[in-house]
Amino acid sequence: MAKKLLRALAGETQAVPPIWMMRQAGRYLPEYRATRAQAGDFLSLCYNPELAAEVTLQPIRRYGFDAAILFADILLLPDALGADLWFVTGEGPRLSTVTAQADFDRLKGKDDIHDHLAPVYETVRLLARELPEEVALIGFAGAPWTVATYMIAGRGTPDQGPAHALKAENRPLFDALMERLTEATIEYLSQQVEAGAEVVKLFDSWAGSLSGADFETYAVEPARRITAALKARHPGLPIIAFPREAGEKYVGFARATGVDCVALDNSVSPEWAAEHVQVDGCVQGNLASSHMVTGGAALVEETRRIVSAFSRGPHIFNLGHGITPDADPDNVSLMIDTVRGARG
């Protein structure tokens, strides 16, 4: 029988939805913290296939999720394109910026990224061999808009202001960067599939800051192009898109892009999403990650509510955002048991 995640992505409604969790390999787990210490730093962990595979497998061993997602980072692609990338402890990523034509001209082409990313592909190959046969393997990349916001600002920002400013002030340069990222993302994800990924996910974490025509141009259209190219190369490949905080713009996103599943953040209600988004196919989500910290009856109640709301169509149970480092691992078990009906 096909894996539960793949069945949901193919449009099957299941009595118990498949479960995985964004950032399921991460700092909330003691075994992850031990492996990261062994690696030395975050980037070294990402580029060490054995250790990256190990942290990908840790939540599968502990919880029995229905899918594993490659352990990597969305900024490995700009790193491969020639941007300088480093991580500041307690603050997050820093990159050299692309704000002028000369900066863009120093970037590599879409076909020159693979030597740098070879360790990531090796991680996928290791996982394809080592994962339990019932567990699906998800590859991923950041969506072009979200990756561009980091490359332009040199870091994460609350409002993606530097990217919006460049888009307004130098549209040709901004469009050239988006084009390079779109093409490189196709190549990167295609190589992950060649290495053994069964599903790919496109994380557009900052899609919600795009409004009006810009949402169509810089969130919908790149996702459509990436999806079409990948499905042409890999017929039958399921694709999940996460245009986070899209709000009303979640409606019709699957139709417009061709993706098989739309992941939802928890700013929209499951009842609304079932009526307006799930009508087009599989949805993923959308428990608030704060429940992984607070637990208790509220976690059980909200988990049941989401399962019930999405029970009439294809659904993948997940959080509405990544699990946070302060989460209690026992609350993850409670969530899974609630979805699977083991706790009354």
Residue 116 phi/psi, 5-degree rounding, is: -65, -35
Instruction: Read off the amino acid at residue 293.
Output: V
Give me the amino acid identity at 189: L
Burial code of 224-261, b = ≥16 C-beta within 10 A, e = fewer?
bbbbebbbeebeebbbbbbbbbbeebbbebbebbbbbb
Q: Which residue has the tokens 């995985």?
A: 20
- Name the active-site residue from 28, 63, 121, 150: 150
From the candidates 33, 62, 73, 155, give the one annotated as an active-site residue: 73
CA–CA gap between residue 41 and residue 114 (Å, rounded): 22
The whole-angstrom separation of Cα 286 and Cα 11 is 18
- Whether 180 is catalytic is no
Per annotation, catalytic residue among 7, 28, 33, 36: 36
Q: How far apart are CA 231 and CA 237, in angstroms?
A: 6
Decide: helix, strand or coil at residue 83: coil
Q: Which of 27, 33, 125, 155 is catalytic?
A: 27
The number of C-alpha atoms within 13 Å of 185 and in the hemisphere containing its C-beta is 30
Task: From 284, 279, 249, 278, select the one nearest 265 (Cα to Cα).
Answer: 284
Per the annotation, the verdict on 150 as an active-site residue is yes
| C-alpha distances in Å from residue 179, one per residue of 104, 159, 186, 250, 281 | 11, 22, 11, 23, 28
Question: Is 73 known to be catalytic?
Answer: yes
In sequence order, which residues have a C-beta less than 8 Å from that of residue 26 and are 6 or more positions away? Answer: 32, 322, 323, 325
Query: Residue 27 in contact with residue 330, Cβ under 8 Å?
Result: no
Residues 7, 23, 225, 244: which is the catalytic one?
23
User: CA–CA separation, 202 vs 222, rounded Å?
Assistant: 10
Residues acting as catalytic residues: 23, 27, 36, 73, 150
